[in-house]
Amino acid sequence: MLTLLFFGRDLRLTDNPALAAAVARGGPIVPVFVLDDLDAGEWAPGGASRWWLHGSLCALDDSLRQRGNALVLRRGRAESVIEQLLHQTGADAVYWNRRYEPWARARGERLKKTLRNRGVEVRSFNSALIRDPWELTTQKGEPYRVFTPFWKALRAMGVSEPAAVGPARIPGPATAPESEPLSSWALRPTARDWAGGMQAMWTPGEVGAQARLDDFAVGAACDYRVTRNTPGIAGTSRLSPHLHFGEIGPRQIWRLITAQAFARTGNPMPIGVETYLSEIAWREFSYHLLFHFPTLPDAPLRLEFAQFPWAENAKGLAAWQRGLTGYPIVDAGMRELWSTGWMHNRVRMIVASFLIKDLLLHWRAGETWFWDTLVDADLASNAASWQWVAGCGADAAPYFRVFNPSLQGAKFDPDGNYVRRWVPEIGKLPNTRLHSPWEAMPIELADAGIRLDRTYPAPIVDHGGARQRALEAFKRIKKS
């Protein structure tokens, strides 16, 4: 009796139901991770995600070795790899935790059918979500398309207990199958190491995830409603990449956050904690949408947006990507993203609004850029969030919501800490001019050492005119 444990987006040992079931079954376990680039197609991991994956796999292998086992690495189509390993090991069971990307769902169904026809025991589990996407439906039995009732239904259903803590020992086979060296996958940059900022900021792996959760739970969680919109302070959990790679699960987060809140306040759900957990629920909602509407990453949920008159502006897109738009809060966000693989959520909304509504560029251009540059590039959350800003998704932002980047910067970065960190060339401007340097007097620019369009660009678009252009285009779609 031998079990293949097929790892995917569940790179942890605690609250891993597939692992717990494999240990309970008895007998040796062969843990395997398959780099499924070919299965994923255009949604194979981007550059930043590949960097993170390398560190996460190293951490998982270390944890397995401490428990008497080791991670087997294979690259290729998962169905072929599983077939090879069944032949090489004589395994009679394959366990895994479910994934919800359309291609992964289809692959899982094919695997189950093929393996069961061969007499192999197959079991899949939920480790990534609080509830599977099919567990929540409206009173009509339909999927939710509005977040607030989804959130209420999720809260009413409750959160199950996380699976048991990671086992002290995970028995391995007498002879382990051959594993490919991780270095051969070239997940980290080679010719030019652009990942220095990510290395300084992040610790991929289950230990790093738990440490970040512990810090947040005893620190900023209860104040989250107040601190979450200020990018210049450490007011958010920054757990999103750990969640994406399954180094920690949402049930673990929910239980620890509420327990710590109760210990501090006598209330497991103070307003700050409730606000934070609603963000975890937004992630759940995004997966709910992806499951029920699998074209979410590629096509607007509101079909009339297929006819939207998107602009063609390669120069504007490049300026946005490089953080050279002339709008400091936008440029700060894009530079933070490039350096660290992450961006504050408030700033994500601002830069997305700028791309879509000021430049009138297709939301998929932003989705694609984020996919390659975010360490938390998550197919469901990325697609749902971009469609929300564009107004073409479920529970979308109203078409007339067009963020003014200067006002947003002044409101959420009033002391300029965030902009000064990422756009240092304008850092000597007073706070009153920092978020709109083109309005500064010539003497103010000179004193700050700024020459517009030389040391820092003038705005690439006039926000007032761009806003009007966007509103007119969105009105035509609304009428249609």
Average pLDDT value for residue range 167-184: 95
Which pLDDT does position 401 carry in this prediction? 87
**pLDDT tens profile 111-147:** 999 999 999 999 999 999 999 999 999 999 999 999 9
36's CB contacts (< 8 A; 6+ apart) are 44, 77, 78, 107
Residue 155 tokens read as: 């809260």
CB 388 within 8 A of CB 418: no
Residue 341 tokens read as: 């693989």
Identify whether 194 is a catalytic site residue: no
Half-sphere exposure of residue 451: CA atoms within 13 angstroms, side-chain side: 2
Identify whether 52 is a catalytic site residue: no
Identify whether 185 is a catalytic site residue: no
Catalytic residue among 386, 388, 404, 422: 386
pLDDT(456) > 80: yes
Task: Name the average pLDDT for the chain.
Answer: 95
CA–CA dist 189, 341 (Å, integer) = 14
Domain limits, the chain:
3-127, 129-159+205-292, 303-479
CATH classification number, 3-127, choose in 3.30.230.10, 3.40.980.10, 3.90.1300.10, 3.40.50.620: 3.40.50.620
- CATH number for region 129-159+205-292: 1.25.40.80
Q: What percent of the chain has pLDDT above 70?
A: 99
CB 456 within 8 A of CB 423: yes
> What's the distance, CA 274 to chain centroid?
20
CA–CA dist 123, 133 (Å, integer) = 18
CA–CA dist 334, 422 (Å, integer) = 9
238 falls in which pLDDT band (50, 70, 90)? very high
DSSP of 384-415, one letter per residue? HHHHHHHT-STTPPPTT----HHHHHHHH-TT
Catalytic residue among 83, 313, 338, 345: 345
**pLDDT tens profile 79-90:** 999 999 999 999
Sheet holding 29-35, edge to edge: 72-75, 29-35, 3-7, 93-97, 121-125
Among 203, 324, 221, 329, which Cα is nearest to 272's?
A: 221
Helices (H), ranges, 118-175: 147-157
CB 354 within 8 A of CB 403: yes
- Per the DSSP assignment, residues forming a β-bridge with 32 are 6, 72
Average pLDDT value for residue range 160-186: 90
Identify whether 279 is a catalytic site residue: yes
251 falls in which pLDDT band (50, 70, 90)? very high
445's CB contacts (< 8 A; 6+ apart) are 429, 437, 451, 452
Q: CA triplet 384, 386, 387: central angle to 5 degrees?
A: 65
pLDDT(15) > 80: yes
Identify whether 310 is a catalytic site residue: yes
Q: Which helix (H) or strand (E) holds 35?
A: strand 29-35
> Which class is 303-479 in CATH?
mainly alpha
Catalytic residue among 320, 363, 371, 388: 363
Catalytic residue among 43, 254, 282, 342: 282
**pLDDT tens profile 201-221:** 999 999 999 999 999 998 888
- Per the DSSP assignment, residues forming a β-bridge with 81 are none
Q: Return left, alpha or beta for 212; rule: phi > 0 is left, psi -120 to 50 is alpha, else beta.
A: alpha
CA–CA dist 95, 152 (Å, integer) = 32
Which pLDDT does position 160 carry in this prediction? 82
Which of 36-40, 149-153, 474-478 is the most confident on average? 149-153
Among 255, 222, 221, which Cα is nearest to 237's?
A: 221
CB 276 within 8 A of CB 257: yes
Which pLDDT does position 229 carry in this prediction? 95
CB 24 within 8 A of CB 89: no
Which pLDDT does position 108 carry in this prediction? 96
CA–CA dist 52, 188 (Å, integer) = 8
Handedness of CA 374, 303, 130, 123 (dihedral sign): negative
- Per the DSSP assignment, residues forming a β-bridge with 33 are 7, 73
**pLDDT tens profile 93-102:** 999 999 999 9
DSSP of 326-349, one letter per residue? S-HHHHHHHHHHHHHS---HHHHH
CA–CA dist 145, 97 (Å, integer) = 26
Catalytic residue among 103, 310, 338, 438: 310
DSSP of 425-447, one letter per residue? GGTTS-HHHHT-GGGS-HHHHHH
Residue 250 tokens read as: 């949402």
357 falls in which pLDDT band (50, 70, 90)? very high
pLDDT(480) > 70: no
Which pLDDT does position 40 carry in this prediction? 80
Identify whether 363 is a catalytic site residue: yes
